[in-house]
Structure 1
Amino acid sequence: MNDIEISQQTTLEPIEKIAAKVGLTPDQIEPYGHTKAKITLPLKNPKTSGKLVLVTSINPTPAGEGKSTVVVGLGDAMNQAGHSTVLALREPSMGPVMGMKGGATGGGYAQVVPMEDINLHFTGDMHALTEAHDTLAALIDNHIHQGNALNLDPRQIVWKRVLDINDRELRQTVIGLGGRTSGVPRQDGFDITVASELMAVLCLSEDLSDLKERVNRILIGYNYDREPVTVGDLKVGGAITLLLKDAIKPNLVQTLEHNPAIIHGGPFANIAHGCNSVLATQTALQLGDYCVTEAGFGADLGGEKFMDIKTPVLGKTPDAVVVVATVRALKYNGGVKRADLTNENVAALKQGSVNLKRHIASMQQYGVPVVVAINRFTSDTDAEVAALTKVVTELGVAVAPTTVWADGGAGASDLAAKVVAATQQPKDFHRLNPAGTDLMTQMTTITQKIYGGARVELSAKAQRQLKTFAKYGWDKLPVCMAKTQYSLTDDPHALGAPSDFTINVRELSPRLGAGFVVALTGNVLTMPGLPKHPAALDMDIDADGKITGLF
């Protein structure tokens, strides 16, 4: 059976029952139907904060790593072992759902459900973010059309429009071409919603007041005197915030094994900071003895950004980090073609394991215990799993094969025991870049200590931007590296663990509301395109409303 068929065979428990398992009373949730709900914050009488487990992975490959599947299976396994555990996950974006990557609800017998709802419109958070973002865009252009009291330079508007679907046609656009009554003509473009600064703002806000303060700080462009103009200057921060009044509340659902999962926020880790909301993680920590959470893509992206961008706001650092790896992906990193990945090849596995070693080392730099989860596929041979286990063990790192896709929580019992043990070990957490470090130093440190590279080179445009940022005091904000997820370098075709390479930064984008600067490297795009055979071609719905083809 495929994922959706397994999901549809499961009888879900009423969301009120799931809420009761973690001590939420009926007045603390706002049901959206029978199987999902918003959580009303702040919580009444929350527990003392639990232990935090961060799950990340090696660089993703076309073979698939199943990180979200492992997260769900691990949470179920910890609950089976008697450890009260709540998951905190990201919301899927319609772009990859309809495109190529798939959703973000796990797979097989390690899923969060209802998967159809979560992967499609869910509770409307993505729509609210899209509407809020584009409302701001409309208000900016209306301000210019109605006399431009702020003296905004239309050539220097940095606030694009967004859409939560991969649409390459909208990367570059020209607007306002309908004559004098249709606005001021200017060049514009679209990003995907998950790349919107509003997504980052929502995910880093501590409450509604903090959300509004962050919204007002957002840079929308520059005036003719080259001075920055913000949402606060436009005086529409309240209007934008009220559109997000429900979206800021975390969403409660369940796993196939009826354990609680909080899903909220969904920034991509290759073009944004890649972590679910601070409120979701804080809530999970307050409701369970353990919170298992994930960061997007590999440890070089989501993992690093969780440590350096999210933890200062979260007020809690991980007690253990799990790095997910697969035999197939490491063989791919070792030079095996995708068509041959089901064939045993221990030599290629060992060669490709340098990618895993790099990610283990990068996470260990933060002073937190690391555990490796081998997400086992049916094509993996005993010899390959044994070889990979030996590679990790020789590094002095705990490792456990898992079979959660086929076996649910039971397939991660060994991993759960090792993760719980890791959380009891002493840690000495420290950020890679202390607060106040300048942007160039931050980018160089990440390149050298996380990616394994040698240097950073700025384009002429990025160099000019860096000088501008220094003028306004933005040059010491945390950096959010926008980089391909497929490689440790900015070249998606450079597999394994390259060294002595250069990261090329073509542009810097200040995200003052989020509180960081995005460094766009290589050819990474903030509006992806659909593949030749998008997943949408395989989807259907019958007269009874039964969905097929959604993974």
Structure 2
Amino acid sequence: MSDIEIAQAARLKPVHALGDALGIPEEALDPRGRHIGKVAQPWLDTLADRPDGKLVLVTAISPTPAGEGKTTTTVGLGDALNRIGKRAIVCLREPSLGPVFGMKGGAAGGGYAQVVPMEQINLHFTGDFAAIALAHNLLAAMIDNHIHHGNALGFDLRRISWKRVMDMNDRALRDNVIGLGGPGNGMPRESGFDIVVASEIMAILCTATSLSDLKERTARIVVGETAERKPITCATLKAQGAMAALLKDAISPNLVQTLENNPAFVHGGPFANIAHGCNTAIATRAALKLGDYVVTEAGFGADLGAEKFIDIKCRRTGLRPSAAVLVATARALKYHGGMAVADVSKEDVAALERGLPNLERHLRNVQEVYGLPCVVAINHRSHDTPAEIELLVRRVEALGGQAVVAKHWADGGAGAEALAREVVAACEKPNSFRFVYDDALPLWQKVEAIATKVYGASGITASAAVKERIERLQAEGYGHFPVCIAKTQMSFSTNAALRGAPSGHTLDIREVRLAAGAEFVVMVCGDIMTMPGLPKVPAAELIDIDGQGRISGLS
């Protein structure tokens, strides 16, 4: 059966039954249909004195078209931990409609390791992304309205940094001119669109600790500058109150379940290649108070998602993972070894050997740079051969790691019980968790630390204008912020075509964006876009619905 057929055949528990099992009172759980609920933020505040469970971070090798299965492994591991008697909760990000209709066709796991109801999660879900888009675009509208009515704040039209957003891949909207059509339509100026998951509002939602904290962070957003280069914030436009009102429900975590009826929080959704790639801190904290083990993922590979999870999310929230799981497939590693996607199902130990440096660098980063105990999850596929699995296990063990073959895609939690036991053991090992760089380092040196320690680069470069922008942000007091590097997820370098583990390359910073409310500085590198485009054959062509409302094509 396909992923969506498996999900549609599942027997789901009512959301109140999930809430009862977690000890969530009925008045604190707002049902959004029969199987989805939002947990009220005020009730979550009452859990503050409870001890935390153990946090497990799931990350992966560099993504490939052959697939790795990080979300699937996160769900399968959560189910397996529950099967071996641990009280485990899964924490995931919400899928963006851009990839759902573009590259992926869905992002709720796969096979017999999924979160459900899969169609709702992949499509509109609880409307969180719509609320974020509305709040973001309200601020954009208030900027142009202010300018239209006299521009008392003195916006320099060349230096307005706040674009509009929509949750769909649409390359035609990246750069445009607004305000055309005469004086009644505003002042013409250049602008553009980003995808919702790149919005600073999304980043704020995912790092905020409460609705009040969210409103205060929103007020600090810098939306533009005057001709004298003085910053203009959201607070000066008096927009933060209305924006927070739009986000009142979105800040509450969404409670759903796995195919095996175990609880999962699916909340927030920044990409890891252009943002910080983690679910909300509120959902993670709630799960840690309600479960013994919390399994969460960070987007893309351990060079992007895991680094930002540690240097941004953990730094800002005080969260500390007990262990990490590094997901890999033999087929993806053969792709890193030079095989074509069409051939990766065939046995080729030599190609696997050539691709292993990608896994090895990620494993070293997790163990030595981030200081975390690590289990390598070999996400099993039916065409994996004994020779390939033996090579993978042997090489991981040579690096001081532990590799476990997991068959959760085919067998659900039962197929990942061995992985679950190794993860429990890893959580008890000595933990020397650390950040990649110190808060006190200047912004330039923070980027340099990530590039050289994590990416294997020889150094970083930037144009004179970009260097001047970084120096000015440093002088204006933003130097203590973490950096959020936006670059391709497909390679350790900024060249998506460089597979394996390239070394000696240069990380070029193309653009710098201040996220004063989210409290990080985005360094845009290479040719990465914050408004993606659809592929030649988008997943939307395969998605359909019949006369009875039954959806097909999501996977």
TM over 0.5: yes
Instruction: Provide the rounded CA distance (Å) in 2 between the counterparts of 1:102 and 1:511.
Output: 30
The SS at the match of 2:421 is helix
Partner of 1:38: 38
Aligned counterpart for 2:74 among listed residues 71, 74, 77: 71
CA apart distance, 1:470? 2.4
1:448 is the counterpart of 2:428 = no
TM-superposition CA deviations, 1:244-275 (whole Å, max 9, x none): 01000100000000000001000000000000
Partner of 1:479: 483
Instruction: Provide the rounded CA distance (Å) in 1 between the counterparts of 2:468 and 2:254.
Output: 42
Distance 1:519 1:45, change over 3 A: closer
1:429 is the counterpart of 2:423 = no
The SS at the match of 2:478 is coil
The SS at the match of 2:41 is coil
Partner of 1:177: 180
Aligned counterpart for 1:294 among listed residues 282, 297, 306: 297
Asked if structure 1 preserves the Cα contact closer than 8 Å seen for 2:47 and 2:289, the reply is: no
CA apart distance, 1:162? 0.4
Partner of 2:58: 55
Partner of 1:390: 394
1:111 is the counterpart of 2:114 = yes
Q: What is the 5 A alignment of 1:89-238?
A: 89-238=92-241
CA apart distance, 1:477? 1.4
1:501 is the counterpart of 2:505 = yes
TM-superposition CA deviations, 1:376-404 (whole Å, max 9, x none): 11111111111111111111101101111
Partner of 1:9: 9
The one-letter code matched in structure 2 to 1:78 is L
CA apart distance, 1:45? 4.4
Instruction: Provide the rounded CA distance (Å) in 2 between the counterparts of 1:200 and 1:385.
Output: 39
Aligned counterpart for 2:376 among listed residues 368, 372, 378: 372
The SS at the match of 1:24 is coil
Greater Cα shift, 421-430 or 38-47? 38-47
Aligned counterpart for 1:467 among listed residues 464, 471, 475: 471
Aligned counterpart for 1:276 among listed residues 275, 279, 300: 279
1:492 is the counterpart of 2:496 = yes
Asked if structure 1 preserves the Cα contact closer than 8 Å seen for 2:328 and 2:378, the reply is: yes
1:247 is the counterpart of 2:243 = no
The SS at the match of 1:451 is coil
Instruction: Provide the rounded CA distance (Å) in 1 between the counterparts of 2:19 and 2:459.
Output: 49
CA apart distance, 1:226? 1.1
Instruction: Provide the rounded CA distance (Å) in 1 between the counterparts of 2:475 and 2:226.
Output: 16
CA apart distance, 1:465? 0.7
Instruction: Provide the rounded CA distance (Å) in 2 between the counterparts of 1:395 and 1:78.
Output: 26
CA apart distance, 1:169? 0.3
TM-superposition CA deviations, 1:142-197 (whole Å, max 9, x none): 00001111001111100000010000000001000010100000000000000000
The SS at the match of 2:347 is coil
Q: What is the 5 A alignment of 1:349-364?
A: 349-364=352-367
The SS at the match of 2:124 is coil
The SS at the match of 1:55 is strand
Asked if structure 2 preserves the Cα contact closer than 8 Å seen for 1:113 and 1:253, the reply is: yes
Greater Cα shift, 392-401 or 72-81? 392-401
TM-superposition CA deviations, 1:278-311 (whole Å, max 9, x none): 0010011011001000000000000000010000
CA apart distance, 1:24? 1.0
Greater Cα shift, 355-364 or 95-104? 95-104
TM-superposition CA deviations, 1:12-33 (whole Å, max 9, x none): 1100011111111111210000
The SS at the match of 1:473 is helix
Instruction: Provide the rounded CA distance (Å) in 1 between the counterparts of 2:33 and 2:342.
Output: 43
The one-letter code matched in structure 2 to 1:31 is P
Asked if structure 2 preserves the Cα contact closer than 8 Å seen for 1:163 and 1:192, the reply is: yes
Instruction: Provide the rounded CA distance (Å) in 1 between the counterparts of 2:330 and 2:268.
Output: 30
Partner of 2:522: 518
Partner of 1:29: 29
Asked if structure 2 preserves the Cα contact closer than 8 Å seen for 1:97 and 1:103, the reply is: yes
| Pairwise CA RMSD | 0.9
Asked if structure 1 preserves the Cα contact closer than 8 Å seen for 2:443 and 2:474, the reply is: no
CA apart distance, 1:316? 1.9
Aligned counterpart for 1:417 among listed residues 413, 421, 446: 421
Partner of 1:339: 342
Asked if structure 2 preserves the Cα contact closer than 8 Å seen for 1:282 and 1:314, the reply is: no
CA apart distance, 1:472? 1.1
The one-letter code matched in structure 1 to 2:334 is K
The SS at the match of 1:456 is strand
The SS at the match of 1:353 is helix
Aligned counterpart for 2:321 among listed residues 318, 322, 343: 318
Asked if structure 1 preserves the Cα contact closer than 8 Å seen for 2:29 and 2:38, the reply is: yes
Partner of 2:551: 547
Instruction: Provide the rounded CA distance (Å) in 2 between the counterparts of 1:361 and 1:57.
Output: 12
The one-letter code matched in structure 2 to 1:64 is G
The one-letter code matched in structure 2 to 1:134 is N
Instruction: Provide the rounded CA distance (Å) in 1 between the counterparts of 2:174 and 2:138.
Output: 19
Instruction: Provide the rounded CA distance (Å) in 2 between the counterparts of 1:327 and 1:459.
Output: 40
Instruction: Provide the rounded CA distance (Å) in 1 between the counterparts of 2:266 and 2:316.
Output: 18
CA apart distance, 1:241? 1.1
CA apart distance, 1:313? 2.4
The SS at the match of 2:190 is strand
Partner of 2:269: 266
Asked if structure 2 preserves the Cα contact closer than 8 Å seen for 1:112 and 1:261, the reply is: yes
Greater Cα shift, 395-404 or 37-46? 37-46
Greater Cα shift, 465-474 or 289-298? 465-474
The SS at the match of 2:484 is strand
Instruction: Provide the rounded CA distance (Å) in 2 between the counterparts of 1:490 and 1:2.
Output: 34
The SS at the match of 1:150 is coil
The SS at the match of 1:70 is helix
TM-superposition CA deviations, 1:385-424 (whole Å, max 9, x none): 1111111111110110111111000110110000000001
Asked if structure 1 preserves the Cα contact closer than 8 Å seen for 2:171 and 2:534, the reply is: yes
Instruction: Provide the rounded CA distance (Å) in 2 between the counterparts of 1:206 and 1:103.
Output: 29
Instruction: Provide the rounded CA distance (Å) in 1 between the counterparts of 2:62 and 2:294.
Output: 24
Instruction: Provide the rounded CA distance (Å) in 1 between the counterparts of 2:47 and 2:172.
Output: 50
- Percent identity over the alignment is 54
CA apart distance, 1:104? 2.0
CA apart distance, 1:461? 2.4
The one-letter code matched in structure 2 to 1:286 is K
- Which 5+ residue runs of structure 2 have no aligned equivalent? none
Instruction: Provide the rounded CA distance (Å) in 2 between the counterparts of 1:538 and 1:421.
Output: 43
Asked if structure 1 preserves the Cα contact closer than 8 Å seen for 2:41 and 2:251, the reply is: no
Instruction: Provide the rounded CA distance (Å) in 1 between the counterparts of 2:212 and 2:91.
Output: 23
The SS at the match of 1:520 is strand
Asked if structure 2 preserves the Cα contact closer than 8 Å seen for 1:438 and 1:477, the reply is: no
Asked if structure 2 preserves the Cα contact closer than 8 Å seen for 1:459 and 1:507, the reply is: no
The one-letter code matched in structure 2 to 1:57 is A
CA apart distance, 1:435? 1.4
Asked if structure 1 preserves the Cα contact closer than 8 Å seen for 2:443 and 2:480, the reply is: yes
Asked if structure 1 preserves the Cα contact closer than 8 Å seen for 2:302 and 2:362, the reply is: yes
